[in-house]
């Protein structure tokens, strides 16, 4: 039987035990970034619930072997982990994930929402099902697991500080847009907005909510033209986003909430989100609106490109 978690210690220097005793559930942890997160969290002392349904990139199929391999690797290295094959986009499945963490380890401290699929199409070619399935996994999956985790944290908060962590996954596609990914971008934009709301609601419980937009070479990036599944250089290694997830999961990140971090081997940045830009007096005539808006657009910052930098105006 897996050991029960002791009370998590206070924030301290980063190291192999920075997450000692922290109970972390990672969704989509059988491959790619989720796998890297689970292995890294366990190596730093966390007790890990490895959640994965073992589907293909498009969400089809089921195979528990990837998740089980991660659990076996963690335990072989002296860590502690259990396998969850629950579908986190299913209401009962999300509940089962949180319940398994509590049953196995006594509580849940950290929820890392990483599970996702891709079904890229242009808007004209995308089917209703392709839209629904991607939104279901990314956006509903993040909400469903968070719902049950928050209910757990709310119960614990009655007895004292929780120091819980909700870590969601957004994307540059959701933050800045990317052609051919309307379903994925909309879902990931929703995750970013959901994270902002969660941060507001959970602060009183002693729980932080943040999101990361990770950049790394995985089997999902292999579906994007010009990118491979394996890192061509260290900048595309999963270790960079994994370190940020570990920091967010630990007490080192106390007080940081409602933020989105862009993380890869090339940079670590804070996304600044939507801000009100140049403004003018309201007008009630379309021709006057056109005149005012044209002036405002000349003063406004250009939209960001996929890297987050300002687009170069033609």
| Confidence at residue 13, expressed as pLDDT on a 0 to 100 scale | 46
188 is catalytic: yes
237 is catalytic: no
| Confidence at residue 307, expressed as pLDDT on a 0 to 100 scale | 78
d(CA 229, CA 236): 10
Tens place of pLDDT per residue across the chain (314 aa) = 667 665 444 344 456 789 999 999 999 999 999 999 999 999 999 999 999 998 888 777 788 999 999 999 999 999 999 999 999 999 999 999 999 999 999 999 999 999 999 999 999 999 999 999 999 999 999 999 999 999 999 999 999 989 999 999 999 999 999 999 999 999 999 999 999 999 999 999 999 999 999 997 655 554 544 444 455 567 779 999 999 999 999 999 999 999 999 999 889 999 998 889 999 999 999 999 999 999 999 999 998 888 787 765 55
| Confidence at residue 192, expressed as pLDDT on a 0 to 100 scale | 98
d(CA 205, CA 102): 18
Out of 173, 188, 213, 253, pick the active-site residue: 188
Taking the CA atoms of 130, 113, 266 and 308 in sequence, report the sign of the dihedral they define: positive
According to CATH, the topology of domain 23-271 is Rossmann fold (3.40.50)
| Confidence at residue 254, expressed as pLDDT on a 0 to 100 scale | 98
**CA nearest neighbour of 19 among 58, 45, 39, 40:** 45
- What is the three-state SS of 11-53? CCCCCCCCCCCCEEEEECCCCHHHHHHHHHHHHCCCEEEEECC
d(CA 230, CA 233): 9
| Confidence at residue 5, expressed as pLDDT on a 0 to 100 scale | 65
Domain positions in the chain: 23-271, 275-314
| Confidence at residue 7, expressed as pLDDT on a 0 to 100 scale | 43
| Confidence at residue 12, expressed as pLDDT on a 0 to 100 scale | 40
**CA nearest neighbour of 114 among 183, 227, 216:** 216
Out of 55, 84, 95, 171, pick the active-site residue: 171
239-249 helix and 32-43 helix, angle to the nearest 10 degrees = 50
Out of 95, 173, 184, 213, pick the active-site residue: 184
| Confidence at residue 1, expressed as pLDDT on a 0 to 100 scale | 61
**Residues near 133 by beta carbon (within 8 Å), at least 6 away in sequence:** 59, 117, 119
184 is catalytic: yes
CB of 33 closer than 8 Å to CB of 214: yes
| Confidence at residue 8, expressed as pLDDT on a 0 to 100 scale | 42
């Amino acid at each position: 039987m897996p050991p029960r978690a002791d009370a998590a210690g206070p924030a301290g220097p980063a190291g192999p035990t920075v997450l000692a005793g922290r109970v972390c559930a990672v969704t989509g942890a059988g491959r790619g970034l989720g796998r890297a997160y689970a292995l890294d969290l366990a190596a730093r002392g966390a007790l890990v619930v490895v959640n994965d349904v073992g589907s293909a990139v498009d969400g089809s199929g089921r195979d528990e072997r990837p998740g089980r391999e991660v659990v076996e690797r963690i335990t072989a290295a002296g860590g502690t982990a259990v396998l969850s094959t629950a579908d986190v986009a299913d209401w009962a499945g999300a509940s089962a994930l949180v319940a398994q963490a509590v049953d196995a380890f006594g509580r849940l401290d950290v929820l890392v929402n990483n599970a996702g699929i891709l079904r890229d199409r242009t808007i004209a070619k995308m089917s209703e099902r392709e839209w629904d399935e991607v939104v279901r996994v990314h956006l509903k999956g993040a909400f469903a697991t968070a719902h049950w985790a928050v209910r757990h944290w709310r119960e614990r908060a009655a007895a004292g500080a929780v120091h819980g962590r909700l870590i969601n996954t957004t994307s540059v596609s959701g933050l800045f847009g990317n052609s051919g990914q309307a379903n994925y971008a909309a879902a990931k934009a929703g995750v970013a907005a959901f994270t902002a709301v969660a941060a507001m609601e959970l602060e009183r419980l002693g729980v932080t909510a943040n999101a990361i937009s990770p950049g790394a070479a995985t089997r999902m990036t292999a579906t994007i033209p010009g990118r491979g599944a394996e890192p061509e250089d260290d900048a595309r290694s999963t270790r960079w986003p994994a370190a940020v997830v570990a920091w967010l999961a630990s007490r080192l990140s106390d007080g940081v909430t409602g933020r989105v971090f862009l993380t890869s081997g090339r940079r670590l940045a804070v996304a600044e989100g939507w801000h009100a830009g140049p403004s003018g007096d309201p007008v009630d005539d379309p021709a006057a609106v056109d005149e005012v808006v044209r002036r405002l657009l000349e003063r406004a910052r250009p939209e960001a490109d996929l890297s987050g930098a300002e687009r170069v105006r033609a």
